[in-house]
Chain A
Amino acid sequence: MQYLSQRLAAQPAREREREPRDAVARSQRDRLLDATEAVMADKGAGGATIEAIVKAAGVSSVTFYEHFRNKDECFTAAFDRAVDELRTEVGDSLPAGDDRSDQVRAGLAALLAAIDAEPARARLCLVEAQKGGSQLAARYDETLDDVAAELGDSLGEAIAGGLAWLLRERLELGGGGSVQELLPEMTEVVLPIHPAHG
């Protein structure tokens, strides 16, 4: 006898046939990543089991394994998507020109607004990423390195690490309030530090 999930997956799905295959796959994948984010925010990385994720996504565990080899791969994909979104939102906010203080202010404001807009996504990026196993933790470190490299030398790395720590603390211990009140203080600390580029 096969697994029940396999038996159910073997049924012809009428809905599915109407849509192009890759569109179905894409939406399933997105739903799984949405669910991963939500379950992690709700139960923490430790409580985010595959069972809980597929349940929240409304897909079968067979579908899960069509997209991801294991939980680590799913966590990492959810993290990557969340980081890409955050970086795009911050990147789009930066004004043209080369006035550093304008750029710092606008970038920090956009980052804090993006965190407030989607707390679960922010929690995944800044808090749970360090608790969801060694593969995800390694990806977090790589991402922080990328951000640091964009900010400049090791002073840039210190800024990236310092802000990540501050925000992590707020999200983890701050009881879910807005982070946007931190903007003046963050700007005040970051502006006097001048990493050297290239």
Chain B
Amino acid sequence: MAERARPAEDLIAGRDRLPPGRHGLPREAVAENQRERLLNGVVDAVAEHGYNATTIGAITEAAKISRRTFYEHFKDKEGCFLAAYEMIDTHLRGAMLTAAECSGPWPKSVPAALAALLDVLSHDLGVARFYLLEPLAAGGEIAARYRDAMQMLAEALRPKDDLAANAEVRGQILMGGITTLIARRLKTGDAGGLPELLPDLVELVVAPYMSREEARQLARSAALRA
């Protein structure tokens, strides 16, 4: 089959290497394609080596991009990691908020948002590990970014009118609990099994706000959906 000329958007959205030579793409499209490939490369490299052992060479090799081009886009490894983290975080939170909005008011939104979270993570072990396991090992600004992300996920899961003074502590315990359950699966490579966690996660999120029986019921209906 003759190769069909692909529009620029396809090349950017996909993580393909651009054909060599003149391809008639505008400069920004080329740059965007390079950047996307580097972000994909850092996720792959970190999945393989862990954050601390990942070198810029490992990132550029995974991305099939020259070291010089890397430095046109990022100052260092941390910058590249943070940019990839930002993209994953935005995507994930977007998926959760969309699912929540489509399913009605809290607490109905909780199973939907959690299902979206587990869905995104279960489809890609590398992305999941990058998002949840690596940042604390990396430390510094990356760990700080992870803390922000977890706090925002907790906010996305609690009722809008919950202005309790202890909301922050509650959010930390909640996200610590959720990530512990998810991390155990990720460490054994079982990303595909993540959706099975849904009922337990639903119960964890809603338990402080309703009776035990109501919480169980919501968890049970989430189990049917999982």
Contact = CB atoms under 8 A, between A and B. Distances in A.
B69 interface: no
A144 interface: yes
A162 B176 contact: yes
B204 A158 contact: yes
A131 B140 CA distance: 13
A128 interface: no
B177 A158 contact: yes
Interface string A166-195: 100100000000000010111011101110
A157 interface: yes
Given A162-B180, A165-B172, A169-B172, A189 B200 contact: no
Nearest to B168: A185
* Main DSSP-derived SS at the B contact region: helix
A161 B183 CA distance: 10
A189 B208 contact: yes
Contact of B180 (A130, A165, A185, A190): A165
Interface range, A side: 20 to 34
Contacts, number: 80
B204 A193 contact: yes
Given A155-B203, A162-B172, A192 B180 contact: no
The residue in A144, A155, A157, A182 that gathers the most chain B C-beta atoms within 10 A of its C-beta is: A155
Contacts of B31: none
A159 interface: yes
6 contacts: A130-B136, A161-B180, A164-B176, A165-B176, A188-B166, A188-B208
Given A154-B200, A161-B181, 13 more contacts: A130-B136, A154-B197, A159-B173, A161-B183, A162-B180, A165-B179, A166-B169, A166-B176, A169-B147, A185-B166, A188-B170, A192-B207, A193-B203
